[in-house]
Structure 1
Amino acid sequence: MGVVVLLLGAMALAWLAWPAGKRAKHLYAGALRWRDGRFHNVASTRKGALGDVFRAYRQARGLRRKPREALPVAPVQREVLDGPASQRLRVTWLGHSTALIELDGLRVLTDPVLSQRASPFTFAGPRRFTPPALGMEQLPALDAVVLSHDHFDHLDRSTILALATRVPRFYAPLGVGRRLVDWGIAAERVVELDWWQETRLGSLTLAATPAQHFSGRGLRDGNRTLWASWVIVGRDERLFFSGDTGMHAGFAEIGERYGPFDLTLIECGAYNETWPDVHMQPEQSLAAHQMVRGMTMMPVHWGTFDLALHRWDEPAERIRALAATHGVRLVQPRPGETVAPDSPLGAPWWRHYESESVVQGAMLSKERA
């Protein structure tokens, strides 16, 4: 009960901290998806009925939503930590949606969350079952941070503040950059973009592109900040980062404008039939990769936090089977490993930590949903 009271208190503070009504109505006048003081998806998004949500929780009983023990991470390559940033595209997965991207001699970190919990509290909320592959003191020099939206598992205040003086630029969707400035990040280090807007980082072009999701960190700030996917275009190679999103028609336009992509980082986890329009099932994740004209797919947003009602390893199993069936090139690094677009698939490393059939577990989850 005490935790609930504290959580409600934090939400109340967020409710007081953000403008509402007429004060917020014109904050982003002219933005593509801003009206009546909030951002909106292109397509309407359904919310599962409360009864369906409770039913899903009951059906998930017995599913192992966390591994039996904390998962170890692979040692990050010394050349990633100590050498100059790679000219060729390579990505080191640090866990969840945090990835260290190297391209054209620059380093970009996506959605950095290095705290133990995806929560406003240090003592409550979803706790990592995979440690960060790198601690703050181990991170190499960074050229930029790219943020997809403001949910706690993607925007971690303590991590951002620790990076405040170490990162020259923070790139964020509309409103998310304002949060950073409110937290004390120097305004000149923050760049906010609307969908389809571009900016330059050395030889790289960064473009904020559409996603279908939602935002907010409290009771009063729902959809007051924008959510986005991101395109990173280098001299010879291109990467797409989906952020959190449901399936939407905009993937095809992203592919037409910016594809083909050498590597895609696609959300694949934290899904459920009761929130079908804001998170993708693995089948949709694969389709999104194909729609943006991706060549190699790297699933992210799984294997770190318990945020849904499926087995912790189900996303990895389902996307691996789907990729094999549809002839999609896939990479599935363990946290800490570095991959390139031409890296081999590798063994299903997560199976080492489970004794029962993960495929049976995945099928059971689908039957119960």
Structure 2
Amino acid sequence: MNQATDAMITHIGGPTTLIEVGGWRLLTDPTFDPPGRTYHFGWGTSSQKLTGPAVSPAELGHIDAVLLTHDHHGDNLDDLGRTLLPEAGTVLTTESGADRLGRPAHGLAPWAATTLSAGGRPTIEVTATPCRHGPPLSRPIVGDVIGFALRWDGQRHGALWISGDTVLHHGTRAVAERLHIGTALLHLGGVRFPITGPLRYTMTGRKAVELCQAIRPHTVIPVHYEGWRHFRQPRAAIERAFATAAADIRRSIRWLDTGVPTSIPC
């Protein structure tokens, strides 16, 4: 295992990553169903899963905590992902999601914080960050979503931030004002649905560059941009957007091969 200042991150697929740091094993947005199924998200929206996970639940091993940005969309928590929740020591999610899931889920409002602590491991402070999973005034339809910023002693570059499913808005811009971000796992893909036309429900590459101009992270890791029909911006489009950015932002992007544990300096 790396030093506690670094993290080992495995992109399992979609929004799902395994973050290992200082003996902790943290899982984001568990999605482990096989491909082929169509999931309905409500209000006439749906999508088909095209790609399965690079790691199966049986191969995953013990999980100390699940960081669940939201529970009500199948591309962030699917059936097999739900079966993992009771086995995790802690599940952190939205307040409304915790009400729906029950124990062991613990709800956090945006900017609320909690800690993960255990003997012999670094204490990790987890701060919930704001998300808006769609255009203005869409929250009653798309539901509550949060991101997570993780801080522990010895970080060299700043917090590890999971953006969650969000567009660029005042809440995500506030992250730059309130937190120093070293590593950003950005949920991208520019989600759109036929029924709502040009409206976007997650960030495009261009909006991600705009966000990075504000937060100036050391490392940017794109996730949740592939594997489903409702994503409209694949890797090539994101790469084109970052190719026009300032030199430090161009250098910051790091693409992870799915299923391969990768050391990330934090």
Flag whether TM exceeds 0.5 (same fold).
yes
Aligned position for 1:226: 144
Change (3 A) 1:318 1:267: same
In structure 2, the partner of 1:317 is 236
SS in 1 for 2:244: helix
| Distance (Å, rounded) in 2 between the aligned partners of 1:99 and 1:129 | 18
C-alpha contact (below 8 Å) 2:148/2:162 kept by paired residues: yes
Q: Which has the larger radius of gyration?
A: 1
The residue aligned with 1:291 is 214
User: 1:1-369, aligned counterparts within 5 Å?
Assistant: 87=4, 88-116=6-34, 117=37, 119=39, 126-149=47-70, 150-160=72-82, 162-181=83-102, 187=103, 189-202=104-117, 203-213=123-133, 222-223=140-141, 225-237=143-155, 238-259=159-180, 261-272=181-192, 274-276=197-199, 278-308=201-231, 310=232, 314-326=233-245, 327=247, 328=249, 329-341=252-264
**Corresponding pairs, count:** 239
The CA distance in 2 between the partners of 1:127 and 1:262, in whole Å, is 34
> 1:291 deviation in Å?
2.4
Over residues 102-148 of structure 1, what are the superposed CA-to-partner deviations in whole Å (9 max), with x where a residue is unaligned? Answer: 2232111111010124626xxxx644332211111110211100111
- Alpha carbons 1:86, 1:102 under 8 Å: kept: no
Q: Which amino acid aligns with 2:105?
A: V
How many angstroms apart in 1 are the aligned matches of 2:254 and 2:115? 28
Corresponding residue SS for 1:341:
strand
Q: Counterparts of 1:163 and 1:132 in 2: how far apart (Å)?
A: 14
Distance 1:262 1:208, change over 3 A: same
C-alpha distance in 2 between matches for 1:321 and 1:227: 28
Higher helix share: 1
1:226-249: CA deviation from partner (whole Å, max 9, x where unpaired): 211211112233211111111112
Cα distance 1:200–1:223, how it changes in 2: closer, same or farther (>3 A)? farther
Mapped to 2, the partners of 1:274 and 1:285 lie a distance apart of 21
Deviation per residue, 1:268-315 (Å, 9 max, x gap)? 21434935453222100222233233221111112211114x3xxx53
| Unaligned 5+ runs, structure 1 | 1-83, 182-186, 215-220, 344-369
**Cα-Cα RMSD:** 2.6
| 3-state SS of 2:264 partner | coil
Secondary structure (helix, strand or coil) at the match of 1:119 reads strand
Q: Aligned letter for 1:320?
A: E
Matched residue SS, 2:133: coil
Aligned partners of 1:175 and 1:224 also within 8 Å: no
**Identity within the alignment, %:** 25
